């Protein structure tokens, strides 16, 4: 059946959001890989980084299901959580909502006009939580790119924000070969579930960040990537536990709270329009 959608973005990371809580007893929304790829195509389809379905949940206000542009289903998406949180709060005239995902339970609250904060919970820091294929200290894992005796990029941090991230610490994020290295590392055997690849340049209380997203490629912003990069930098004493994350699409505020170890991400969202999936 045809499904109405809302097209939204968080810092340019764009989504098609579908209401899939089975209105009027309609069947579950389960698109095929080929359908997702066709809709995601920016030349011949709608064009988006992720497809989002809002589903019913037994323990939260809604469940958010996420497909990347390549058709693969993934655990979560930080920028999409802000968009879905805003939709739910608008629909219920509320100040806060809970959203469940395959990556865990999160909470959204209003932080201003089309500005939303997401409590992402605690980061996963053990090698088995990323997951990695073997035990390592995730503050700096055994991974390098380039000549063995003089690697260009090496010893990145690894963090799970409900989905897997590896973060390289670089002197100039704008000059980093994100496409080349990101596509190389995304399916590295060290990461049995694949991995999102970040390139973080600490600048005091700011961090310049670019991210190659697993299954989506280079996007203008990655919310979970911003959270992972802040945690990875803080663990190496390269940045404070609260920083402004400077992404291609704009800025996010991220804090790794000492009080409860939760990561809080705050940023804007935009509504681009509506349409119908057929």
Report the CATH number that the domain containing residue 184 is assigned in CATH.
3.10.310.10
Mean of the pLDDT values across residues 200-228?
Answer: 96
Q: 83, 222, 227, 233: which one is catalytic? A: 222
Residue 217 Rama label (left phi>0; alpha psi -120 to 50; beta): left
77 annotated active-site: yes
94 and 191 housed in the same domain: no
58 and 151 housed in the same domain: no
253 and 163 housed in the same domain: yes
Number of domain units in the chain: 2
Please tell me whether the overall predicted TM-score, pTM, comes out greater than 0.85 for this model: yes
Count of H-run helices and E-run strands, the chain: 4, 19
Q: What is the pLDDT of residue 248?
A: 97
Is residue 140 classed exposed, middle or buried when 0-12, 13-18 and 19+ CB atoms within 10 A define those classes? middle
Query: What is the residue-averaged pLDDT of the chain?
Result: 96
Mean of the pLDDT values across residues 216-243?
Answer: 97
Q: 77, 83, 227, 233: which one is catalytic? A: 77
Q: What is the pLDDT of residue 146?
A: 86
The answer to the question of residue 96 being in a domain is yes
Domain encompassing residue 97: 3-121+268-277
100 and 152 housed in the same domain: no
25 and 74 housed in the same domain: yes
Closest CA to 119 of 133, 111, 109: 109
Q: What is the pLDDT of residue 28?
A: 86
253 and 272 housed in the same domain: no
Sequence-separated (6 or more) residues with CB below 8 Å from residue 45: 38, 39
Q: What is the pLDDT of residue 1?
A: 66
Mean of the pLDDT values across residues 234-246?
Answer: 98
The answer to the question of residue 201 being in a domain is yes
């Amino acid at each position: 059946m045809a499904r109405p959608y809302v097209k939204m973005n968080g810092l340019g990371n764009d989504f098609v959001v579908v209401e899939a809580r089975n209105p009027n007893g309609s069947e579950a929304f389960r698109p095929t890989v080929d359908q997702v790829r066709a809709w995601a195509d920016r030349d011949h389809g709608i064009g988006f980084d992720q497809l989002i379905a809002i589903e019913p949940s037994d323990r939260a206000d809604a469940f958010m299901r996420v497909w990347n542009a390549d058709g693969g289903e993934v655990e979560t998406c930080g920028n999409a959580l802000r968009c879905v949180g805003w939709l739910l709060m608008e629909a219920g005239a509320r100040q806060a909502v809970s959203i469940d995902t395959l990556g865990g339970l999160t909470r959204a609250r209003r932080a201003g006009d089309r500005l939303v904060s997401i409590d992402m919970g605690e980061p996963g820091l053990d090698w088995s939580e990323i997951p990695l294929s073997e035990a390592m200290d995730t503050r700096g894992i055994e991974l390098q790119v380039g000549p063995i005796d003089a690697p260009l990029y090496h010893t990145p941090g690894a963090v799970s924000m409900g989905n897997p991230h590896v973060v390289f610490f670089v002197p100039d994020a704008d000059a980093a070969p994100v496409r080349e290295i990101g596509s190389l590392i995304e399916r590295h055997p060290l990461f049995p579930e694949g991995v999102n690849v970040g390139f973080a340049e600490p600048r005091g209380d700011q961090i310049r960040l670019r991210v190659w997203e697993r299954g989506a490629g280079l996007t203008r912003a990655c919310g979970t990537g911003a959270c992972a990069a802040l945690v990875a930098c803080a663990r190496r004493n390269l940045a404070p536990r609260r920083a402004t994350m400077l992404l291609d699409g704009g800025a996010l505020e991220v804090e790794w709270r000492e009080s409860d170890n939760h990561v809080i991400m705050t940023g804007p969202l935009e509504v681009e329009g509506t349409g119908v999936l057929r």
